[in-house]
Amino acid sequence: MFAVALLSTLVLSAQTMAFTAVEVRVKEHTQKDIEEAFDKVFEDVEMNQGGVVLERIWNGRTNGMTHRLVWMYTLGVDLVNDGAISPDRNDAFWAKMNNYIEEWGSGYSGRILSWQEGDTTKNPAIHIWDIKVENQNQFKKGHDKIVKEFKADFKGRVVGFGTYDIGRPNGATHWVGVSGKNRVDHLMLLDKLQKSSKFITLLQERGKTEDVKDYELEILRRKQ
């Protein structure tokens, strides 16, 4: 969801970034087809302060959904200019996608409150925690402090925190996302951090939270 390379946008723009995601179940053996359809529709299209990501969902799937499309954009700014994608091209894309999609799942939107950019080519695996946060400002302050204090461990990784404002999945109010090389890399990072008393203390400083669920994603395609 939150791994498209948006460093210049997030750092240089004072405007708030947001996202809209939709989950789908893709027919077996058609992943290559949806990747090719994605490449075709967004070929030579310039994005304005945002991007689009195609992801595969691994562990933690909801209702058998296998993939996800995520649009990331700056509030108040059109993601693409009028006419950037012709109606015929757009219709052809969605016609192809509908041929490969067996079922449409849930959709949701929110904002990005904290973001550290990373190398998503080296670290394409994303671990996301859906949570309920009691005090958003306190959590953000604590989250940012963790990223700063453990900057060596998070080097090269995307680390994000944000809201679910519309269509909250399973009642979650917020999310935290971290990228890594693969599942083992994520487990090694967690093992190292959770053995640190300083890390545990900083987790507690974020305030009262409730875990809703977590899941894994793999970035397949992105256009920015």
Q: Give the per-residue pLDDT at 146.
A: 98
pTM: 0.89
Q: Give the per-residue pLDDT at 17.
A: 93
pLDDT in tens, 43-77: 887 878 888 999 999 999 999 999 999 999 999 98
pLDDT at 2 over 80: no
pLDDT in tens, 103-141: 999 999 999 999 999 998 999 999 999 999 999 999 999
DSSP the chain: ---S--HHHHHH--SPEEEEEEEEEEPTT-HHHHHHHHHHHHTTPPPSS-EEEEEEE-TT-STT--EEEEEEEETTS-SS-TTSS-HHHHHHHHHHHHHHEEEEEEEEEEEEEEEE---TTT--EEEEEEEEES-HHHHHHHHHHHHHHTHHHHTT--EEEEE--BS-GGG--EEEEEEESSHHHHHHHHHHHHT-HHHHHHHHHT--EEEEEEEEEEEEEEE-
**Residue ranges covered by each domain of the chain:** 7-223
Q: Which of 95-109, 120-134, 153-167 has the weakest average pLDDT?
A: 95-109
pLDDT band for 14, please (50, 70, 90 cuts): low
pLDDT in tens, 169-218: 999 999 999 999 999 999 999 999 999 999 999 999 999 999 999 999 99
pLDDT at 90 over 80: no
Architecture of domain 7-223: 2-Layer Sandwich (3.30)
